[in-house]
Structure 1
């Protein structure tokens, strides 16, 4: 943790700001366990979708290793139906935004991030600036963090990254960027306060 307050916050989205439907909703849609889904799905289809290399129709056709057919629109609808703020997150973002903190998404997600935006309006607080389908880089690739810092004209040490996956937080620290492992909003609020970031206090 640096003694200097960051100039901007970088947020993971799924599992940090928004409920991720992959682990429960998607297996339930297919009548599978999570392990069964992982074994049956194509190993690269979703990753290439997240990297912006393929569009939704191609990803859906390739979703399963065996190429089986399924209700594409139904899957998308199930995911959209499950997108929701994690408990306490939206009020925290609203307070940080009102206090003047610059906040950007640093997210591994495909073009469907637009569906999240349509439903939840995350851009009211957090700019969808560094989404993997646009940058072509996924965390924990170090370039995901360095590219964001370069784009913002800030040293990595002047940015704070929040994510629910330890591997992504560790990668941020590797490039000199402080990070917080998200567990819940209460713990996050405390970790932010330890870094001089209080939701009710102005950033500058």
Structure 2
């Protein structure tokens, strides 16, 4: 066992619990080749643009800016929004891990970089695994996104436990590093099997 057993677990959602593949949504509207061109464009950074909406900028403002600065990509952005649900599926195996923790009474909070405009209508009700979490901090709603330390502190407050008693799970190393810098234990997610091993090492019943 690695030190003290965590009092609660904080889960990233995207590509930990919910698989997010924006290319699938974009391709539904404009085709796979155009989707790849958009996501790999040298003149436009989709991930950076999307992060602004995740941080609380309204999608209407984000799309208006794109139409003004990169009108040749407007149809691709429209396709992403129109077909957003096609980008989402469940990550294999992690729902079972969450179910085990839930059954054991382990508190769990989600901490996700996600636009509230897209999270609530398209994910919150669709995926049963999310309903096993005690709370979900949605960056677009609280207007701050990982790896900003404030996002983690909001999650800690929602959990009811100090940061030093929390285990944070994310698929991005920079997000894990930011959690560890605040005093959380951190696990870099690769797959459900490895996550289960990491949780067991910390004394959690999975």
Which bracket does the TM-score occupy, shorter chain normalised?
A: 0.7 to 0.9
Q: 84, 89, 100: which one pairs with 1:95?
A: 100
**2:69 is equivalent to residue 60 of structure 1:** no
Q: CA offsets per residue over residues 11-59 of structure 1, 9 Å max, x none? A: 101111111123x3256454133322x63357864233112232x3333
Alignment root-mean-square deviation, CA: 2.5
Aligned position for 2:13: 13
Q: CA offsets per residue over residues 137-159 of structure 1, 9 Å max, x none? A: 11111121123223434211111
Matches within 5 A, 1:48-197: 48-54=52-58, 56-63=59-66, 65-68=69-72, 69-70=74-75, 74-111=79-116, 112-114=118-120, 115-197=122-204
Task: Give yes or no for contact 1:46–1:63 (8 Å, CA) kept in 2.
Answer: no
In structure 2, distance between residues paired with 1:164 and 1:186: 14
In structure 2, distance between residues paired with 1:39 and 1:4: 48
TM-score (norm 1): 0.84
SS, match of residue 52 in structure 1: coil
Aligned position for 1:39: 43
- Structure 1 residue runs of 5 or longer lacking an equivalent are 200-204
> Which structure is higher in helix share?
2
SS, match of residue 186 in structure 2: strand
Aligned position for 1:25: 24
In structure 2, distance between residues paired with 1:149 and 1:186: 26
SS, match of residue 130 in structure 1: strand
- Structure 2 residue runs of 5 or longer lacking an equivalent are none
- Alpha-carbon distance, 1:165 to partner: 0.4
In structure 2, distance between residues paired with 1:28 and 1:61: 21
Task: Give yes or no for contact 1:45–1:62 (8 Å, CA) kept in 2.
Answer: no
Aligned length: 196
- Alpha-carbon distance, 1:177 to partner: 0.2
1:99–1:168 CA distance, 2 compared to 1 (3 A): same
1:71–1:138 CA distance, 2 compared to 1 (3 A): closer
